[in-house]
């Protein structure tokens, strides 16, 4: 299934480009200081850096504050139902290889109502670039416990403090079979952009978990990872394969066990690329089925169906 | 089994039959279905019509199973109430099915396993030691595998069938598995065919179409017709999750769609399946998902989204017995309300129910055209009976019924409005990848939105857009063909049905008319929107009964009857309902209509 891009002759070339200026749409409705602004900003920069055209990208989201995202991007996109963004994105990615499909959603979408889809999209290795904007609280519905809320988190649904063990996103994603797993922080924009660039370049299912503070209902939740707030932003020291003695101690992103060990470091943990491997994508596998089925067959599609009917006579 | 004429050949009397109903009863591992399939296909190849009915246990292995086929030279409508021939492999097969054998019918039983009632005088009895003869023919093993083929040989001999065509089918079916499988199969068949039937004294010949058939006949079950119709209509992406009796649709499409450049994905659950299908549909590919009742209920949130975002999507429900896990391998028409109303909010969608295997092909083709024309989901209501029954039908003309669809990526704009509030309600949709010439790109959304697609939940906007989405289906309603009455357009009784029950309903009408009743029937193929004029037809009949395979409910009528009563504001409509998991028998309908008429005339009875 290949598609020619539409004729672009009649539109001035600079309007076609997915630059920050061209992509910026309505002013976001997020609260002042929300981490999500930073993710949106990084997305604009990312597309500008990669030289994308506006009509080549599609932005898909679920439900929640973060999932308002597509409305703030002046390009094709879908604001889907709660928890199912990955399913919509999967259908689009598999049927339209000419598009780059991005998913922006929250921790409720990704780890609670849509948790099963995260697992299966990861193990299918669907070609998608995903960003989980994790604020560890349900913000749009005004402060209920989320699947990543820490133990003891006080919310309207757990006024005594949450007692459910929070999901560890990186650990879960590695266990699910995701082929690219990274973690970043909305307050560290350069790091965030670098992670999103690597995610976008990854041929397969890539996820960046971004700690994105909810200033309204979870203020200061991620300060312990910020030096200027008295915490520490611990970046994963990746293996450089430079033959130096210190390289032996660095993290090998293809080592699943090492990645899992890093993932279970105590809060606030590490930031960077935990895990990246290459294996055939679902898109590749389905294309191969099509290629094999059509190989050497010069009949028209109608003749192929006719032959199927002939078998039933 | 109405006899046409007799003649004598080779010492055996040859009896010509207009048609015959043959029921084979055994266990699910006996290969009864494959014999049924081969006999059905043979009938199609020799200008005969066939309709089959089969039951499976819903357990993994074992349990009683039957295959019934009705073969004849004229157009058959139902699988038939009574059998002319019953073949019983076991005592339980004999015990449970002898009641469906008509008086004077033929009982063929495996005398290694069955001892019929010695006083039985109503039937013509033929005992054949099928198990031991099969073992003898195949050579020495104690396994009785192959007795289905022995039986097929015996049937071929008794009914003077084209043996060469059956042998060709055995070769097609088993040849690729090598001589170790093929040789015993042929030996078993030949032993059955060679069995000395002189004790029967007769061979039977089932009539063929007198003039032959204009088109070659194809032979398949309803799920196969559904998959082929989807391909013909242009579907190139699908996603589903396994559930009986829907699964074989996805199995066929999983294997066949790649030949057409498409994909069918096995999703992690029912919700993911509709989400993926909708994603492809959003991308401009014609897409489908499907399930059976329990799965359709899981998909309902996204059905409402598809209505709101105005994305075309084919959603199949192969109904089975419910509620809950219910009766997975039985027929029921109890998902009509689900199909009409599944989802939240005011979410109008198109609902179509096919009435035969042939109609499954054409109705699914039509559904795909309608969803594109009206940018909305179509729910396609098949059922277990249509899914599993095999029918012969004239091959479709693919020159007329084949569409190739590509996403429309043409530039749009300036000021393109994907939800333009037009008089018909229909607007032009947008597909990602298309260039917007003014640089303004639309988002599809589940939020109420304005004509440009931007969120706008103002009271005026919601009222306007609800009206737009509803008006599309009112436009469709104006364009639907007029409803057609089977029989006279006025009279005493109008029998209304929908879905797979059309055949037995029309046969019941034929029979009651022969008995002098002024009765006609109306089949509702478009469940939403309903065709215009149904009320005027109902007005011309004294009694209106709706026959459907669902429960009469608290108020005494089934789901379609409830719909018609509410739409047309009449309490004249009453229901003929049953939920025994089996298709309507003609005699059940005949008796129910008579009793209903009687009750209405003499309400005290």
> What would the two tokens of residue B542 be?
């004294």
Decide if A308 is inside a domain. Answer: no
Decide if B175 is inside a domain. Answer: yes
A-B contacts at Cβ under 8 angstroms: 216
Decide if A300 is inside a domain. Answer: no
Whether B439 and chain A come into contact, CB under 8 Å, resolves to yes
Spell out the residues 6+ positions from residue B601 whose beta carbon is closer than 8 angstroms to its own.
Answer: none
Average pLDDT for B266-293: 98
Q: Which domain holds residue A133?
A: 13-279
Tell me the pairing of strands A270-276 and A180-185.
antiparallel
Decide if A305 is inside a domain. Answer: no
Q: Nearest 5 degrees, angle CA B123-CA B590-CA B68? A: 45
- Asked if B283 and A55 come within 8 Å (Cβ–Cβ), the reply is no
Quote the CA–CA distance of B424 and B439 in Å, as a whole number. Answer: 28
- Asked if B445 and A79 come within 8 Å (Cβ–Cβ), the reply is yes
| Whole-number pLDDT of residue B304 | 98
Tell me the pairing of strands B313-319 and B217-221.
unpaired
Using DSSP's 3-state secondary structure scheme, residue A108 falls into helix
Using DSSP's 3-state secondary structure scheme, residue B99 falls into helix
pLDDT digits (tens, 9 = 90+) for B317-352: 999 999 999 999 999 999 999 999 999 999 999 999
Tell me the pairing of strands B12-17 and B202-206.
parallel
Residue A230 gets which letter from DSSP?
T
Whether A304 and chain B come into contact, CB under 8 Å, resolves to yes
Whether B342 and chain A come into contact, CB under 8 Å, resolves to no
Identify whether residues B236 and B342 lie together within a single domain.
yes
Report which of B274, B128, B491, B227 is spatially closest to residue A87, judged by C-alpha positions.
Answer: B274
Identify whether residues B159 and B225 lie together within a single domain.
no
Quote the CA–CA distance of A14 and B446 in Å, as a whole number. Answer: 32
- End position of a domain, from candidates B394, B411, B426: B394
| Whole-number pLDDT of residue B59 | 59
List chain B residues with CB under 8 Å of A22: 439
Between the alpha carbon of residue B119 and those of residues A104, B94, B100, B125, the distances in Å are 78, 15, 18, 11
Decide if B438 is inside a domain. Answer: no
> What would the two tokens of residue A155 be?
């919310």
List chain A residues with CB under 8 Å of B445: 71, 78-79
Spell out the residues 6+ positions from residue B356 whose beta carbon is closer than 8 angstroms to its own.
Answer: B386, B391, B393, B500, B502, B503
Decide: B328 and B295 in contact? Cβ < 8 Å: no
Position of tokens 């005011």? B346
Average pLDDT for B425-430: 96
Identify whether residues B296 and B360 lie together within a single domain.
yes
3-state SS, B419-442, equals CCCCCCCCCCCCCCCCCECCCCCC
| Whole-number pLDDT of residue A6 | 47
DSSP string for residues in B270-309 = HHHHHHHHHHHHHTT--EEEEE-HHHHHHTHHHHHHHHHH
Decide: B132 and B174 in contact? Cβ < 8 Å: no
Report which of B450, B379, B463 is spatially closest to residue B417, judged by C-alpha positions.
Answer: B450
Provide the residue count of chain A: 313
pLDDT digits (tens, 9 = 90+) for B203-239: 888 887 765 556 688 999 999 999 999 999 999 999 9
Report which of A169, A48, A15 is spatially closest to residue A105, judged by C-alpha positions.
Answer: A169
List chain B residues with CB under 8 Å of A301: 260-261, 402, 404
Report which of A175, A136, A177 is spatially closest to residue A158, judged by C-alpha positions.
Answer: A136
| Whole-number pLDDT of residue B74 | 67
Whether A127 and chain B come into contact, CB under 8 Å, resolves to no
Decide if A52 is inside a domain. Answer: yes
Percentages helix, strand, coil for chain B, rounded to the nearest 5?
Answer: 40, 25, 40
Whether A285 and chain B come into contact, CB under 8 Å, resolves to no
Peptide bond into B529 cis (omega under 30): yes
Between the alpha carbon of residue B555 and those of residues A242, A262, B602, the distances in Å are 81, 64, 20
Say whether pLDDT at B403 is over 80. Answer: yes
> What would the two tokens of residue B240 be?
């589903």
Quote the CA–CA distance of A221 and A225 in Å, as a whole number. Answer: 9
Spell out the residues 6+ positions from residue A174 whose beta carbon is closer than 8 angstroms to its own.
Answer: A181, A256, A259, A260, A263, A274, A275
Residue B119 gets which letter from DSSP?
T
Identify whether residues B267 and B349 lie together within a single domain.
yes
Backbone Cα Rg of chain A: 21
Decide if A304 is inside a domain. Answer: no
Whether A113 and chain B come into contact, CB under 8 Å, resolves to no
ipTM of model: 0.97
Identify whether residues B501 and B383 lie together within a single domain.
no
Angular region, B25: left φ>0, alpha ψ -120 to 50, beta rest: beta
Between the alpha carbon of residue B285 and those of residues B243, B257, B261, the distances in Å are 25, 13, 11
Buried b (16+ CB within 10 A) or exposed e, A135-163: bbbbbbeebbbbbbbeeebebeebeeebe
Whether A306 and chain B come into contact, CB under 8 Å, resolves to yes
Average pLDDT for B420-446: 95
pLDDT band, very low/low/confident/very high, at B364 (cuts 50, 70, 90): very high
> What would the two tokens of residue A139 be?
């913000």
Decide: B66 and B32 in contact? Cβ < 8 Å: yes
Decide if B194 is inside a domain. Answer: yes
| Whole-number pLDDT of residue B44 | 79
Identify whether residues B222 and B75 lie together within a single domain.
no
pLDDT band, very low/low/confident/very high, at B200 (cuts 50, 70, 90): confident
Q: What is the mean pLDDT of each run of 10 residues along chain A (313 residues)?
A: 50 86 91 97 97 96 96 96 98 98 97 98 98 97 97 97 98 98 98 98 98 97 97 97 94 98 98 98 98 96 97 89
Identify whether residues B264 and B158 lie together within a single domain.
no
pLDDT band, very low/low/confident/very high, at B605 (cuts 50, 70, 90): very low
Decide if A297 is inside a domain. Answer: no
Provide the residue count of chain B: 605
Enumerate the β-bridge partners of residue B445: A79
Residue B367: which CATH number?
3.40.50.970
Decide if B454 is inside a domain. Answer: no
Quote the CA–CA distance of A59 and A50 in Å, as a whole number. Answer: 16
Decide: B560 and B527 in contact? Cβ < 8 Å: yes
Decide if A288 is inside a domain. Answer: no
- Asked if B269 and A22 come within 8 Å (Cβ–Cβ), the reply is no
Between the alpha carbon of residue B142 and those of residues B91, B135, B145, B191, B204, the distances in Å are 20, 6, 9, 17, 33
Quote the CA–CA distance of A273 and A270 in Å, as a whole number. Answer: 9
pTM for this one? Answer: 0.94
> What would the two tokens of residue B81 be?
């109430």
Say whether pLDDT at B449 is over 70. Answer: yes
- Asked if B442 and A76 come within 8 Å (Cβ–Cβ), the reply is yes
Decide: B299 and B327 in contact? Cβ < 8 Å: no
| Whole-number pLDDT of residue A12 | 78
Nearest CA in chain B to A297: B259
Q: How far is CA B8 from the centre of its chain?
A: 41
Backbone Cα Rg of chain B: 27
Shortest CA gap B167–chain A (Å): 15
Decide if B447 is inside a domain. Answer: no
Decide if B156 is inside a domain. Answer: yes
> What would the two tokens of residue A131 be?
């960003």
Spell out the residues 6+ positions from residue B145 whose beta carbon is closer than 8 angstroms to its own.
Answer: B31, B184
- B316 HSE (CA, 13 A, CB side): 41
Shortest CA gap B179–chain A (Å): 23
Spell out the residues 6+ positions from residue B7 whose beta carbon is closer than 8 angstroms to its own.
Answer: B13, B14, B16
List chain B residues with CB under 8 Å of A6: 409-411, 433-435
Decide if B403 is inside a domain. Answer: no
Q: How many domains does the structure of chain A reveal?
A: 1
| Whole-number pLDDT of residue B295 | 98
Residue A66 gets which letter from DSSP?
G
Average pLDDT for B281-297: 98
Decide if A197 is inside a domain. Answer: yes
- End position of a domain, from candidates B206, B240, B258: B206
Identify whether residues B277 and B299 lie together within a single domain.
yes
Enumerate the β-bridge partners of residue B109: B88, B127
Q: Answer positive or negative: Cα dihedral of B380, B381, B384, B389.
A: negative
How much of chain B exceeds pLDDT 70, in percent?
95
Identify whether residues B181 and B246 lie together within a single domain.
no
When mean pLDDT is compared across A105-114, B189-198, B453-462, B568-577, the lowest value belongs to: B189-198
Decide: B502 and B356 in contact? Cβ < 8 Å: yes
Q: Which domain holds residue B96?
A: 3-206
Quote the CA–CA distance of B306 and A258 in Å, as a whole number. Answer: 43
Buried b (16+ CB within 10 A) or exposed e, B430-439: bbbbbbbbeb
Mutation target vs B (from A88, A128, A176; most B CBs, 10 A cutoff): A88
Whether B162 and chain A come into contact, CB under 8 Å, resolves to no
- End position of a domain, from candidates B151, B185, B206: B206
| Whole-number pLDDT of residue B124 | 87
Residue A257: which CATH number?
3.40.50.970
Between the alpha carbon of residue A136 and those of residues A150, A158, A162, A209, A273, the distances in Å are 8, 14, 12, 11, 21
Report which of B177, B154, B159 is spatially closest to residue B108, judged by C-alpha positions.
Answer: B154
C-alpha dihedral over B116, B121, B123, B125, to 10 degrees? 50
- Asked if B262 and A1 come within 8 Å (Cβ–Cβ), the reply is yes
Say whether pLDDT at B54 is over 60. Answer: yes
Give the DSSP H/E element, type plus range, for residue B352. strand B350-352
Identify whether residues B178 and B236 lie together within a single domain.
no
Q: How many domains does the structure of chain B reveal?
A: 3
Spell out the residues 6+ positions from residue B122 whose beta carbon is closer than 8 angstroms to its own.
Answer: B103, B104
Residue B31: which CATH number?
3.40.920.10
> What would the two tokens of residue B331 be?
């027929």
Q: How many Cβ atoms sit within 10 Å of the Cβ of residue B555?
A: 10
- Asked if A84 and B275 come within 8 Å (Cβ–Cβ), the reply is yes
Average pLDDT for B46-52: 82
| Whole-number pLDDT of residue B7 | 58
pLDDT digits (tens, 9 = 90+) for B121-175: 888 888 999 999 999 898 866 566 889 999 999 998 888 888 998 999 999 889 9
Identify whether residues B187 and B223 lie together within a single domain.
no
Say whether pLDDT at B1 is over 70. Answer: no
Identify whether residues B318 and B240 lie together within a single domain.
yes
| Whole-number pLDDT of residue B276 | 98
Q: Which segments of A143-188 does DSSP mark as H helices, in order?
A: 169-176
List chain B residues with CB under 8 Å of A306: 398
Residue B582: which CATH number?
3.40.50.920
Using DSSP's 3-state secondary structure scheme, residue A147 falls into coil
| Whole-number pLDDT of residue B291 | 98
Decide: A35 and A66 in contact? Cβ < 8 Å: no
The dihedrals phi and psi of B459, each to the nearest 5 degrees, come to: -55, -40
């Amino acid at each position: 299934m290949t598609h020619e891009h539409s004729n672009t002759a009649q539109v001035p070339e600079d309007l076609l480009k997915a630059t920050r200026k061209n992509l910026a749409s309505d002013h976001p409705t997020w609260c002042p200081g929300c981490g999500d602004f930073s993710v949106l900003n990084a997305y604009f920069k990312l597309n500008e850096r990669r030289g994308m055209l506006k009509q080549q990208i599609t932005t898909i989201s679920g439900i929640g504050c973060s999932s308002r995202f597509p409305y703030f991007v002046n390009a094709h996109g879908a604001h889907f139902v709660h928890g199912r963004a990955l399913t919509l994105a999967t259908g689009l990615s598999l049927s339209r290889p000419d598009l780059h499909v991005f998913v922006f959603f929250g921790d409720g979408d990704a780890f609670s109502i849509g948790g099963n889809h995260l697992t299966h999209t990861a193990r299918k290795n669907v070609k998608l670039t995903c960003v989980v904007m994790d604020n560890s609280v349900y913000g749009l519905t005004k402060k209920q416990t989320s699947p990543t809320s820490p133990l003891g988190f006080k919310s309207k649904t757990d006024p005594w403090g949450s007692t459910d063990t929070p999901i560890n996103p990186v650990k879960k994603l590695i266990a699910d079979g995701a082929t690219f797993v990274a973690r970043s922080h909305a307050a560290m924009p350069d790091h965030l952009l670098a992670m999103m660039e690597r995610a976008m370049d990854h041929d397969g299912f890539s996820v960046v978990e971004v700690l994105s503070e909810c200033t309204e209902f979870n203020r200061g939740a991620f300060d312990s990872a910020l030096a200027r707030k008295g915490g520490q932003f611990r970046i994963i020291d990746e293996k450089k394969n430079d033959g130096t003695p210190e390289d032996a101690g660095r993290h090998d992103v293809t080592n699943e066990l090492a990645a899992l060990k890093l993932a279970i470091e105590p809060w606030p943990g590490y930031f960077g690329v935990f895990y990246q491997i290459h294996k055939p994508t679902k898109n590749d596998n389905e294309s191969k089925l099509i290629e094999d089925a059509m190989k050497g067959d010069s009949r028209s599609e109608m003749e192929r169906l006719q032959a199927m009917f002939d078998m039933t006579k | 089994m109405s006899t046409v004429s007799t003649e004598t050949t080779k010492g055996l009397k040859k009896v010509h039959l207009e048609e015959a109903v043959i029921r084979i009863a055994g266990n699910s591992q006996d290969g009864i279905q494959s014999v049924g399939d081969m006999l059905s296909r043979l009938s199609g190849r020799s200008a005969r019509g066939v309709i089959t009915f089969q039951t499976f246990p819903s357990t993994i292995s074992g349990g009683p199973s039957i295959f019934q086929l009705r073969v004849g030279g004229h157009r058959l409508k139902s699988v038939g109430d009574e059998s002319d021939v019953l073949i019983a492999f076991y005592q339980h097969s004999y015990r449970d099915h002898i009641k469906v054998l008509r008086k004077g019918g033929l009982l063929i039983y495996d005398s290694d396993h069955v001892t019929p009632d010695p006083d039985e005088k109503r039937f013509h009895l033929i005992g054949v030691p099928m198990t031991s003869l099969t073992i003898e023919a195949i050579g020495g093993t104690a396994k009785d595998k192959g007795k289905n083929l022995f039986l097929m040989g015996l049937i071929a001999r008794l009914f003077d069938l084209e043996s060469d065509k059956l042998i060709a089918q055995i070769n097609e079916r088993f040849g690729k598995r090598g001589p170790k499988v093929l040789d015993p199969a042929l030996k078993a068949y030949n032993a059955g065919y060679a069995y000395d039937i002189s004790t029967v004294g007769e061979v039977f010949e089932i009539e063929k179409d007198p003039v032959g058939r204009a088109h070659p006949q194809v032979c398949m079950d309803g799920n196969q017709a559904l998959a082929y119709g989807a391909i013909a209509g242009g579907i190139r992406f699908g996603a589903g999750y396994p559930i009986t009796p829907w699964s074989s649709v996805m199995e066929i499409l999983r294997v066949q769609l790649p030949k057409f450049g498409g994909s069918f994905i096995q999703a992690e659950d029912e919700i993911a399946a509709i989400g993926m299908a909708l994603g492809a549909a959003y991308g401009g590919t014609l897409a489908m998902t499907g399930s059976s009742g329990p799965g359709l209920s899981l998909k309902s949130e996204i059905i409402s989204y598809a209505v709101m975002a105005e994305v075309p999507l084919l959603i199949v429900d192969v109904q089975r017995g419910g509620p809950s896990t219910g009766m997975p391998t039985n027929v029921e028409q109890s998902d009509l309300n689900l199909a009409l109303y599944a989802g939240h909010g005011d979410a109008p969608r198109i609902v179509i129910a096919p009435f035969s295997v042939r109609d499954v092909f054409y109705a699914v083709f039509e559904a795909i055209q309608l969803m594109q024309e009206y940018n909305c989901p179509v729910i396609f209501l098949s059922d277990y009976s249509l899914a599993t029954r095999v029918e012969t039908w004239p091959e479709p003309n693919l020159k007329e019924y084949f569409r190739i669809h590509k996403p429309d990526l043409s530039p749009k704009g300036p000021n393109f409005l994907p939800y333009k509030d037009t008089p018909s309600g229909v607007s032009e949709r947008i597909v990602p990848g298309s260039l917007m010439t003014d640089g303004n790109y639309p988002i599809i959304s589940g939020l109420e939105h304005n004509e440009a697609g931007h969120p706008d939940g103002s009271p005026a906007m919601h009222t306007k857009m609800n009206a737009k989405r509803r008006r599309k289906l009112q436009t469709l309603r104006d364009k639907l063909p007029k409803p057609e009455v089977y029989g006279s357009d006025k009279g005493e009784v109008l029998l209304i049905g929908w879905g797979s029950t059309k055949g037995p309903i029309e046969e019941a009408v034929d029979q009651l008319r022969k008995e002098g009743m002024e009765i006609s029937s109306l089949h509702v193929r478009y469940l939403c929107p309903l065709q215009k004029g149904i009320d005027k037809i109902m007005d011309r009949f004294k009694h209106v009964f709706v026959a459907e395979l669902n429960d009469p409910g608290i108020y005494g009528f089934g789901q379609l009857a409830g719909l018609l009563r509410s739409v047309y504001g009449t309490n004249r409509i009453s229901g003929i309902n049953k939920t025994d998991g089996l298709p309507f028998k003609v005699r059940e309908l005949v008796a129910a209509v008579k009793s209903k008429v009687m009750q209405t005339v003499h309400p005290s009875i």
